[in-house]
Amino acid sequence: MTATEDRTRAAERKPPQIVDMSWDPITRIIGNLGIYTKIDFANQEVVECHSTSSLFRGYSVFMKGKDPRDAGFITSRICGICGDNHTTCSNYAQQMAYGVKTPPLAEHIVNLGEAAEYMFDHTIFQDNLVFVDFCEAMVKATNPSVLARAERTPAPRGDIHGYRTIADIMRAFNPFEGEVYREALKVSRITREMFCLMEGRHVHPSTMYPAGVGTMPQPSTFTDYLSRLTRVIDFVKEAVALNDDVFDFFYEALPGYEEVGRRRILLGCWGAWQDPAVVDYRYENMNRWGKAMYVTPGIIVDGELVTNDLVDINLGLRVLLGSSYYEDWERQEPFVTHDPLGNPVDMRHPWNQTTVPVPQKRDFDGKYSWVMSPRWYHQPSDSHLALDTGGGPLARLWSTALSGLVDTPYIKATGHSVRISLPKSEKLPETTLEWHIPRWSNTIERDRARPYFVAYAAAMAYQFLEEAMQMMRAGETKVFQDFEVPDEAIGVGFHEAVRGVLSHHLVIKDRKIANYHPYPPTPWNASPRDSHGTPGPYEDAVQGQPVFEENGPDDFKGVDIMRTVRSFDPCLPCGVHMYLGKGKTLTTMHSPTYGASHG
């Protein structure tokens, strides 16, 4: 039933000393995520974990009846972090439903905007939020012996990033004071400017539409993007070296630390960056154009690639309830019985889901979260897999590496690794980075993958720029395609939000939205125990992990637990929307900022 491999230790166990501890809300993220644990301090391990979301996610309710052309603009507001990922994914779903293909230059503009978003979000999260848990101040407060060792340990890649010891790197990540912490904020500003050049506004795009974009394709649009990209490449190269030095040190300084956040390798990736020469958004061709994406979709079970076919991935999706505050919909009439290829569609598939919230008291033996439990049905084992995203980058890199399909001037998937080539920059020479498939899916490897994927996004941005500018020079400047909204249709968009898998499932009837379900990465990662008793990935990764913090119960900070949860890049806006119920009205009044008192 559980998703994790057995982590029972062979050493003789002491009589347990169980203490209930909770962190609610989790800080340094957006949303209402709570982690409730039982910790055995005698044996230094977490013996139980529950993940909760305390507010309702309601977009699937109020999307019904809307004009489908508005879906991208509405669903962008699901999140104040990755709203553009929702817009992009919604447009993909609409383009399938409308039977329309985006012009090639518009596709590259979307790709450039999403590349900038990955660079922006991963940088600010890794360096300004995740690394607070690994900085000098935090390590001093939780593991002073580790900091003492860090002071004596030379940084192996100091010739790249310029820091002499591991402790020097940790100091550079101290909040508000550390050099890398401050520099990351500057890089985040520059990459956000890159995003706005392509998608108009961050984080809710103003120039993104189904079947095209409103961005004016001018040479300066792309050269302004390129000049900013060039300014951050040194930082990108240094970040990989900094992260590798710190994470390798933790493995050496704390033997057994690989068990922190480790779970069975169950990874999902839905693919990113369409190839305009291949994609046509037809469901019948989805396997072909899905495999042409510049991040290859895939499901990885126990380190093996199960499938990279988006049709298979789509048909295997299931939404289970279990510990969630919802009424079941299984006895209702399905919206979709078969996909466009004639394959049967399960009643628990997002196309057929109906969201009926049932508020109630939290009960860890029953229902305790507003997050549902999305799962992927694995036919060979007849099991519903609690896939995780590895925080986004781990699953993307792993799936791309195993598939071995991506082969561009900047990115090469080898079957066991991903090679990333970056051009010469102001301080550092032309550099080839190589991410290797790790032994574990754990806290450190989720975090380690993040700077590698920033480098991946930067490398692909160079390719998208080159191809976009070639189109400009050839006079291929069309960025929008006319279309008609059909009376009835279905569509699905597959994309990667920053922190992982993102899908939007759309059903149109009478030219209106009859059913709409967006599934961002956090419902996958933050899901509670499902109807089969399988814990969600946060719960699964924390439950059973060892505790290395040197503090006892009285001053325990839970740093290893927080490192694990944050390694998934948790973000709960998709779980923080308001449900008013029948007969209630919410009215918000706004007054002008200036001159409000004048008649």
pLDDT, tens only, 151-166 = 999 999 999 999 999 9
Residue 577, annotated ligand binder?
yes
Domain boundaries, the chain: 18-581
Give the chain's mean pLDDT: 93
pTM: 0.94
Instruction: Report how far residue 18's alpha carbon sits from residue 161's, in angstroms, rounded to the nearest whole number.
Output: 43
Instruction: Report how far residue 256's alpha carbon sits from residue 253's, in angstroms, rounded to the nearest whole number.
Output: 9
Please, what is the Cα angle at 314 between 312 and 319, to 5 degrees?
125
The alpha carbon of 330 is separated from its chain's Cα centroid by a whole number of angstroms, namely 29
Instruction: Report how far residue 464's alpha carbon sits from residue 408's, in angstroms, rounded to the nearest whole number.
Output: 11
Residue 196, annotated ligand binder?
no
Please, what is the Cα angle at 422 between 420 and 423, to 5 degrees?
155
Q: Measured between alpha carbons, how far is residue 282 from residues 279, 296, 339, 368 in Å?
A: 8, 18, 12, 39
Of residues 193 and 575, the one with the higher pLDDT is: 193
User: Which of 408, 159, 400, 185 minimizes the C-alpha distance to 277?
Assistant: 408
> Are 110 and 116 in contact, with CB atoms under 8 Å apart?
no
Q: Quick one: pLDDT band at residue 576, thresholds 50, 70, 90?
A: very low
Q: Copy the structure tokens of residue 419.
A: 């090679």
**Within a 10 A sphere around the Cβ of 220, how many other Cβ atoms?**
9
Q: Measured between alpha carbons, how far is residue 219 from residues 197, 223, 468, 471, 477 in Å?
A: 12, 6, 10, 11, 11
Question: What's the confidence (pLDDT) of residue 361?
Answer: 94
Instruction: Report how far residue 288's alpha carbon sits from residue 406's, in angstroms, rounded to the nearest whole number.
Output: 13
Of 224-228, 481-485, 575-579, 588-592, least confident by mean pLDDT is: 588-592
Q: Quick one: pLDDT band at residue 574, thresholds 50, 70, 90?
A: low
Question: What's the confidence (pLDDT) of residue 583?
Answer: 46
Average pLDDT rounded to a whole number, residues 180-193:
98
> Are 374 and 524 in contact, with CB atoms under 8 Å apart?
yes
Question: What's the confidence (pLDDT) of residue 420?
Answer: 98
User: Which of 299, 295, 297, 300 minimizes the C-alpha distance to 114?
Assistant: 295
Of 23-37, 63-77, 170-184, 391-405, least confident by mean pLDDT is: 23-37
Residue 82, annotated ligand binder?
yes
Question: What's the confidence (pLDDT) of residue 82?
Answer: 86
- What is the CATH superfamily name and number for domain 18-581? Cytochrome-c3 Hydrogenase, chain B (1.10.645.10)
Instruction: Report how far residue 235's alpha carbon sits from residue 162's, in angstroms, rounded to the nearest whole number.
Output: 12
Question: What's the confidence (pLDDT) of residue 69?
Answer: 97
pLDDT, tens only, 503-548 = 999 999 999 999 999 999 989 999 999 999 999 999 999 999 999 9
Question: What's the confidence (pLDDT) of residue 164?
Answer: 98
pLDDT, tens only, 372-385 = 999 999 999 999 99
Q: Measured between alpha carbons, how far is residue 465 from residues 21, 110, 190, 471 in Å?
A: 50, 11, 17, 10
Question: Percentage of the chain with pLDDT > 90?
Answer: 88
Question: What's the confidence (pLDDT) of residue 1?
Answer: 38
What is the widest separation between alpha-carbon atoms in the chain?
A: 80
Is the pLDDT at 310 greater than 50? The verdict is yes
Residue 89, annotated ligand binder?
no
Q: Quick one: pLDDT band at residue 590, thresholds 50, 70, 90?
A: very low
Average pLDDT rounded to a whole number, residues 455-463:
98
Question: What's the confidence (pLDDT) of residue 469?
Answer: 97
Is the pLDDT at 462 greater than 50? The verdict is yes
> Are 31 and 526 in contact, with CB atoms under 8 Å apart?
no
Residue 79, annotated ligand binder?
yes
Instruction: Report how far residue 86's alpha carbon sits from residue 91's, in angstroms, rounded to the nearest whole number.
Output: 8
Instruction: Report how far residue 570's alpha carbon sits from residue 272's, in angstroms, rounded to the nearest whole number.
Output: 20
User: Which of 250, 214, 29 minimizes the C-alpha distance to 103?
Assistant: 214
DSSP single-letter state for residue 416:
S
User: Which of 399, 398, 394 minimizes the C-alpha distance to 569?
Assistant: 394
Question: Percentage of the chain with pLDDT > 70?
Answer: 93
Average pLDDT rounded to a whole number, residues 249-267:
98
Is the pLDDT at 479 greater than 80? The verdict is yes
